[in-house]
Amino acid sequence: MKIITALLFLTTSFNAFAGEQNILEDPKVDLRVELLSIVFRLAESHEYSSKDFVQYVDHIEEHYDPHKNHPLINFIKKVRDEDSLGYDRIMNMAISISPPPNMQLLNLANQGTPEGWKKTTTKTFLKLLNEFYRDSNSEQFFTEQAAMYQKVAQRFRHSYDDLNLNWYQSFYGQQPKGAYRLVNAVGNGGHNYGPNVQLADGTTIIYGIIGAWTMDKSGLPIYEKKDYFSTILHEINHSFINHLVAGYAKDLSDNGRLLFNKLEPQMSRQAYTKWQTMFSEALVRAAVIKYLNDHDATTEEIERELAEQLDSGFVWTAELVNELERYSKNRKQFPTLESFMPEIVGFFRHTTMNIDKLVNTVADQKPRVVSVTPDINQSTDVDPDISRITFTFDRVMRGSYSFHFGKKGREAYPAIDQVSFADDRKSVTIEISLVPDKDYQLVLTGLGFKSLTGFGLVEHELNFKTTSSPSSSH
């Protein structure tokens, strides 16, 4: 899974193996994916509650809000936390069932259930899902959205024209026993997933489920390569890597736990809640850079991608890419990445010994706020007439920004009217509207505030309280 922040622009041009071998169908909206994202949205699962595609969300709310108390939605709310059902586990279910209106489990390998789902939960969920589909008249909703779905799929096609699927098979040393599917998950915002389903006949279908987080002036998704291509690379890699981490879990576990404990705050913010997920993500992200190296991406493109991964807490990425390069140069000794996994185990053992050094090296590259004007942090007597606050950084910034509310919640978040950077981009000024006698809290995050080299700001929290009346009225 990849949650979008900022992605690079690839200028590489080469033939798409997918078209030559016909193993990649045209992308499309999958009604199974849409239906499951909708019902988990109704159950208020935050990862399925994006409002990036405003027009579509408005249609969802108009059609489905009367069904928020359906037995299915209440069941989801009950088992979601009990069974840890969220994020990719929802998509695992989506690709493991037949299309509506009669949704049943496909003939899965080992007569199993979707990964992460209990048999009893699965049985009840599918029964209620079919009832919900009928009770909510979902067929009408999907019919009304069909033209939009088709337009979105057509727009998406150019975003992966240069995708070289042959690289995956060559690099990992394994051939697919099925096909690749790219799915436009139009309600998922910046959440993307790379699940696969293994059928009883030996077929494996590898999915890249790609959200929609950029819109044009008409309000429809627009898919620029600079925003989406590396996400596609990322999600397909998951289907080649996740099972390798699972297969070597015993050998990786000790160092996995130590590293995860060290990096848990950063990992948790990205919804990575266990070391296995962290290691799968680590290998996937390094493999994306290896792909760029193998396809003549520019130094700037590769450095930006590397900075994003280092900044996301994967502080060993440069060294792990070097390991993948070593694997590629020794394919007689290591015919598959699976045969190289003992080396990866050793790599993470060595990384654990050097983690403090790696963390500190990355921390030194992250920008910081060095002053706030006026200096009101932690003040309890701030004039509510103040209308401008300036934050100064220790280095030049890109010019993008991201503010968020803190632990005090949305009610403590000030009304920001305008944001502007100084010409040298070493400071940013916000124009705000304050009210008397109120606690305020504002957090500057590294999601948008980034240095020229791509490293996110060390999170900076501003807390203050206004007086009961403006100074001008005293």
The structure tokens listed for 274 are 């266990």
Are the C-beta atoms of residues 445 and 459 closer than 8 Å to each other? yes
pTM above 0.95, yes or no: no
Are the C-beta atoms of residues 209 and 231 closer than 8 Å to each other? no
Give me the pLDDT at residue 5, please.
37
Summarised one tens digit per residue, pLDDT across range 365-401 is 999 999 999 999 999 999 999 999 999 999 999 998 8
Q: At residue 18, does pLDDT exceed 70?
A: no
The amino acid at residue 185 is: A
* Closest alpha carbon to 34 in 180, 152, 122, 113: 152
Mean pLDDT of the 324-337 span: 98
- How many of the other CB atoms lie within 10 Å of CB of 112? 14
Give me the pLDDT at residue 409, please.
86
The structure tokens listed for 19 are 């078209």
> Is the torsion defined by CA of 260, 261, 265, 266 positive or negative?
negative
DSSP per-residue letters across 373-433: ES--TTEEEE-TT--EEEEEESS-B-S---EE--TT-GGG--EEEEEEE-TTSSEEEEEEE
Name all domains of the chain by residue range, CATH numbers in brackets.
2-237 (no CATH), 248-363 (no CATH), 369-473 (2.60.40.1220)
Mean pLDDT of the 254-269 span: 94
Say what percent of the chain tops pLDDT 70: 93
Q: At residue 146, does pLDDT exceed 90?
A: yes
Q: At residue 109, does pLDDT exceed 90?
A: no
Rg (CA), the chain: 24
Summarised one tens digit per residue, pLDDT across range 403-430 is 988 889 889 999 999 999 999 999 999 9
What residues contact residue 234 under an 8 Å CB cut-off, 6+ apart?
2, 192, 194, 284, 285, 288
The structure tokens listed for 146 are 């069909």
Distances 29 to 55, 96, 110, 402 between C-alpha atoms, Å? 16, 16, 28, 30
What residues contact residue 342 under an 8 Å CB cut-off, 6+ apart?
248, 251
Give me the pLDDT at residue 20, please.
39
Q: At residue 17, does pLDDT exceed 80?
A: no
What residues contact residue 461 under an 8 Å CB cut-off, 6+ apart?
406, 441, 442, 443, 444
